[in-house]
Structures are given as C-alpha cells and as structure tokens.
C-alpha cells in the first residue's frame, strides 16, 4: 500500500480536521490513525482508561492526541467527541462492544454535534446475509439498525476479507501442502483487501464529507483459481486445488465445531472464521459496485503481493 501526501479536507473554519478514533490501539485502528496523520488530520485517539496496550506509545510518537476515557461514561465520551468532523470506530468485540459500547459512542457523537460516524464494520456485505449465518456480522446488523435511526450521517466501509489472513489464519492457502483449499465453487469471485489498504481508505473516507451510506472496496477480487495462481506465482511452487466439500459440508462442520467448543467470549473462534468463509463462498455478500476509484491516490495491494511478503 502506498499513499501520496494529500491535504485533509478542511472545514470553512480552516485548520486541520479533527477525527475522533475509538479503538485506535487495535491493529486496524493504529493503521487508520497513521493514515489520518499522513493526510494532515488532527487525530484524537480514544483509549480505554488504564489500557496498557503498547500501541498507545506509537500513537503518541506519531502525533495523535491520546485521550483516556471511560467508555461506560456518556458525559466523558461526549466531551471527547466535541469538535470532530467524524467519529470513526475500529473497536473489536462482541455484543458489549459492537452494540452497547458503539451505541454509547454514537449517542456521544450526536450529543456533541458531530456530523458523521463510521462504525466498526470492515467486512463482507452483511446487509445481504440472512440473520444467523454469522454471529459477528449479526451484531453489526443490529448496530446498523440503531445507527440508521440516529440523526447523523453514517458510512460503513466494506472490504471483504483482510488479504493478510491468507498468509496463515484463514485455512485456505496451505503452504506446506502446496494446495488451496475451498468449499463450493472454485470460480466464485471473492473480495480481499489488506488491513493497510482498508485503513488508508477509511482515513480518506473519514476526511471526505460527502461519503454515501456504504463504501465497498476490494484490493483484489479473486476466485479460488485466482488465489491458486497467485500462490504459485508468489512462491515459485505449483499449487493445486483441494476441494473440501460443498457448502452443506462446511455448514455441518460449523455446527459440529460450535457444539464441541465450550461457550467463550472469544471474538474469533474457529467456527466464526468458518462462518465467514461459508458466507464468502456462497456469493451472497459479494461487494458490488466497488468504490476503489474514489480516492485515486490509494494503490491496491494484490493477493500475490501479500502471499509473496510471507516468503520474504
């Protein structure tokens, strides 16, 4: 990913645009903060009181203003949002975070007179999925219903799967076996965007007062055959395909894995990753149309580049 230095969109009152960023100490949040700073924004990073996350030092070093808040305290949250052109959430968690904490942040943004809000979505198009098919995305839909009733302009960034996950976490590119595993159809187009490219696009969207309700991007739209070709090109080894079954088989695997696992508050248990893959292979949450060209300074990273970087 590479971005050219572009000035922040400024309001009539001039001066750098203030963006409030919740979850700034997280993996995606930190990259959004850095992209915003690169674009000349004033970044107010909201950190939960007492957090010892080492990324906080990086945020300070890079020029963000770190504000410790009690996310359960609406008054504190409202004060922290005053003067912002947009509140961006990169929070991660389950219901207590995605629905409850984001709702308090939303109310605070409205109370502080902030005109725009970007929720922590960064996913496949959950609006096209039936309830019950993805635990984490159901929570985003629940928050969406609340967000769409609030007197504030909202923009969700939808980016498919982080391409970075193909280097290990997602059981798709099996580097040792030289195989690309899949369920269903090897010709189903799938959306992939790196975390860094998603962050750069989100930063640009946060500084752009004219964004629509949804922005959809994909660093690369690839079928499983495309991923296979990318893996072969990136490693110099010929990769084959490994068909693990139809979507019904994957659905059964999800049910069995979920039943065998003790209930936990893990945000990304293995069965949730499987739900995500099931969704993607179904084709239902495919992103269209794509808004990649909206900020032409963003150069999109390909699947091959990401797989190659793992080998370096």
Residues that bind ligand NAP in the complex, under the rule CB under 6 A: 23, 25-29, 48, 51, 53, 71, 90-93, 97, 101, 120, 122-123, 159, 161-162, 165
User: Quick one: which H or E segment has residue 75?
Assistant: helix 74-81
How far apart are CB 215 and ligand NAP at their closest, in Å?
A: 14
> Taking the complex as a whole, how short is the minimal distance between the CB of residue 121 and ligand NAP, in angstroms?
6
Kind plus residue range of the DSSP H or E element containing 47:
strand 42-48
Closer residue to ligand NAP, CB minimum distance, 84 or 218: 218
Helix then strand then coil, % of the chain, to nearest 5: 40, 15, 40
Minimum separation from the CB atom of position 147 to ligand NAP (A): 14
Q: How far is the CB of 125 from ligand NAP (least distance, A)?
A: 11
Q: How far is the CB of 123 from ligand NAP (least distance, A)?
A: 5
Nearer to ligand NAP, 8 or 21 (CB): 21
CA dist 97 and 89 (Å) reads: 11
Residue nearest to ligand NAP (CB): 26
> 22 - beta bridge partners?
46, 89
Kindly tell me which of 161 and 190 has the beta carbon lying closer to ligand NAP: 161
Considering the complex, state which of residue 8 and residue 24 has its C-beta at the smaller distance from ligand NAP: 24
- Tell me, rounded to whole angstroms, the distance of Cα 309 from its chain centroid: 21
DSSP annotation of 152 reads S
Three-class SS state of 293:
helix
CB contact burial 247-265 (16+ within 10 A = b; e otherwise): beebbebbeebbeeeeeee
d(CA 301, CA 299): 7
8 Å CB contact between 274 and 184: no
List the one residue out of 196, 150, 10, 138 whose CA is nearest residue 85: 10
Q: C-beta of 210: minimal distance to ligand NAP in Å?
A: 24
User: Would you say 15 or 54 has its CB closer to ligand NAP?
Assistant: 54
Of residues 9 and 76, the one with the C-beta less far from ligand NAP: 76
From the centroid of its chain, how far is CA 122? 3
CB of 309 to ligand NAP, least distance (A): 17
Q: Which long-range contacts (CB under 8 A, 24 or more apart) does 183-187 make?
A: 183/243, 183/244, 183/245, 183/246, 183/247, 183/249, 183/250, 183/277, 183/278, 183/281, 184/246, 184/247, 184/250, 184/281, 184/282, 185/281, 186/223, 186/224, 186/225, 186/241, 186/243, 187/223, 187/224, 187/225
CB of 13 to ligand NAP, least distance (A): 30
Instruction: State the nearest-atom distance from the C-beta of 130 to ligand NAP, in Å.
Output: 19
Separation CA 66–CA 219 (nearest Å)? 30
- Nearer Cβ to ligand NAP (231/280): 280
């Amino acid at each position: 990913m590479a971005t050219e230095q572009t000035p922040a969109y400024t309001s009539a009152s001039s001066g750098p645009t203030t963006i409030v960023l919740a979850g700034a100490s997280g993996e995606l949040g930190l990259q959004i903060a850095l992209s915003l700073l690169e674009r000349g924004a004033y970044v107010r990073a909201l950190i939960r009181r007492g957090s010892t996350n080492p990324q906080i030092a990086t945020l300070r070093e890079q020029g963000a203003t770190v504000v410790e808040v009690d996310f359960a305290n609406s008054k504190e949250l409202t004060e922290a949002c005053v003067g912002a052109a947009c509140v961006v959430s990169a929070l991660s968690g389950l219901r207590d975070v995605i629905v409850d904490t984001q709702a308090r942040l939303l109310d605070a943004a409205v109370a502080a007179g902030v005109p725009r809000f970007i929720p922590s979505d960064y996913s496949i198009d959950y609006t096209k999925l039936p309830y019950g098919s993805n635990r984490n995305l159901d929570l985003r839909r629940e928050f969406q219903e609340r967000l769409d009733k609030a007197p504030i302009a909202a923009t969700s960034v939808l980016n498919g799967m982080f391409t970075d996950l193909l280097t290990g976490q997602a059981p798709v590119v099996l580097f040792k076996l030289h195989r690309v595993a899949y369920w269903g159809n090897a010709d189903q187009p799938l959306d992939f965007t790196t975390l860094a490219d998603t962050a750069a696009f989100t930063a640009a969207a946060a500084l752009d007062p004219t964004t629509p309700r949804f922005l959809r991007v994909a660093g690369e739209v690839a079928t499983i055959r495309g991923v296979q070709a990318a893996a072969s090109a990136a490693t110099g080894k010929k990769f084959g395909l490994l068909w693990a079954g139809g979507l019904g088989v994957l659905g059964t695997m999800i049910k069995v894995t979920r039943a065998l696992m003790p209930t936990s508050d893990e945000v990304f248990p293995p069965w949730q990753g499987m739900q995500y893959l099931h969704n993607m292979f179904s084709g239902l949450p495919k992103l269209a149309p794509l808004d990649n060209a909206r900020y032409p300074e963003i150069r999109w990273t390909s699947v091959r580049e990401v797989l190659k970087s793992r080998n370096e």
